[in-house]
Amino acid sequence: MKLALGTVQFGLDYGIANQTGMVSIDEAGRILLAASNHNIDTLDTAIAYGESETRLGEIGVNEFKVISKLPSVPDDCKDISDWVRTSVAASLSRLKLNKLYGLLLHRPAQLLQSYGDEYYAALLKLQDDGLVQNLGLSIYEPAELDMIPDKYSYQIVQGPFNILDERMIKSGWLNKLADSGVEFHARSIFLQGLLLMSKDKRPAKFDRWNKLWALWDNWLLDMDTDPVAACVSYAVSHTEVTKVVVGVNTALQLEEIITAADTDVAGLPINMTTNDIDLINPARWSAL
């Protein structure tokens, strides 16, 4: 199964279209059961995702490949190696696991700091000690990959990828990663739910892209296609994409996405992609 389950909703009130808040632990258990029943074997979490790791540990995730992420190195950090090891040990303790399938850096650019070599050495030590299987980077734009020196190798890259955002394709990085045997995990395929919202539910601050929304809404209507099916089908159809990370608030939503992953959707409308960072980077939305 190409889908992976994102679990930020298990620990935080997340997503512009989220009407229900943080997922309850009972519903989280039902979501994980549905994932297991459909052969979804990979979970994505992070130290910064509130209670997510703790809740996953309480439910039990031994049968899954779990990927977590290190937050930014604190400005007052005196010992990078100790900080890395302590952070990961705490993460494993919360998850009740002996090993992570993947450990990603939330701020890969910190490898460019004066302590970059020490930081990377500490990460390699985790691999050598069997605490982490794969190292990786969590990026917001492919330009971040251009900055990482070749001496720092990695096995997983997670980044944004959706109908509006084809930067990974246009930059050439999607093919480069595939050719190098690096897993690419696509996230934000629904653009935090914005691509799933109907015209009357879409916040007014996004009206400046009304021409784009009209194209999208009309295509969905003409093709009689559900936006979930279109977004999921688009992401899973790219052979260079190893995993498609999806976050849900209910087990029913996950079932719908799993069904959508098996649905063939006709070619998408042209001119849907955009390079407008104000739209495709949710971190910019608060300033709109």
pLDDT of 137-156, one tens digit each?
999 999 999 999 999 999 99
- Domain map (residue ranges) of the chain: 3-287
Q: Which pLDDT does position 270 carry in this prediction?
A: 66
DSSP state of 105: E
CA separation for the pair 250, 185 (Å, rounded)? 22
The number of residues making up the chain comes to 288
List beta partners, residue 245: 4
pTM: 0.94
Q: Which pLDDT does position 17 carry in this prediction?
A: 45
Q: Which pLDDT does position 272 carry in this prediction?
A: 86
Q: Which pLDDT does position 263 carry in this prediction?
A: 79
Q: Which of 49, 125, 138 lies closest to 84 in space, CA to CA?
A: 125
Q: Which pLDDT does position 203 carry in this prediction?
A: 95
Q: Which of 57, 73, 74, 5 lies closest to 36 in space, CA to CA?
A: 5
Angle at CA 209, nearest 5°, toward 205 and 214?
120
List beta partners, residue 136: 104, 156
CATH of 3-287, one of 3.40.50.1000, 3.30.390.50, 3.20.20.100, 3.40.1010.10: 3.20.20.100
Cβ contact 43:10 at 8 Å: no
Cβ contact 51:24 at 8 Å: no
Q: Which pLDDT does position 115 carry in this prediction?
A: 95
**What is Dmax (Cα atoms) for the chain?**
59
Q: Which pLDDT does position 20 carry in this prediction?
A: 54
- Estimate the crossing angle of helix 52-59 against helix 25-37, to 10 degrees: 60
Q: Which pLDDT does position 41 carry in this prediction?
A: 97
CA separation for the pair 127, 82 (Å, rounded)? 15
Cβ contact 257:228 at 8 Å: yes
Q: How many CA atoms lie within 13 A of 77 on its CB side?
A: 20
Give every residue of the chain whose pLDDT is below 50, as ranges: 15-18
